Amino acid sequence: MTDEQKKFLFLKQIKTLETLKEHGAISERQYDISYNGLINKMHIKDDELKEWLK
């Protein structure tokens, strides 16, 4: 997986989580757990995360 593919997939997943949270389908805690789980499972480094979320 290229860095661009990784970034695209991560941002797409975060958007999905945000939508679920906005509609009350998941709680803030569930969002946080899933968000942090994505970061860990996708081996995203802090510098990547900061760059992607600008």
Domain coordinates of the chain in residue numbers?
Answer: 3-52
Percent of the chain at pLDDT > 70 equals 100
Residue for token digits 């969002």?
31
Specify the pLDDT at position 42.
Answer: 95
SS3 at position 49: helix
Sites in the chain below the pLDDT cut of 70: none
Residue type, 54: K
Can you give the pLDDT at residue 5?
95
pLDDT of residue 1: 87
Backbone angles phi, psi at 47, to 5 degrees: -65, -35
Whether pTM > 0.95 for this model: the answer is no
Cβ(35)–Cβ(14) below 8 Å = yes
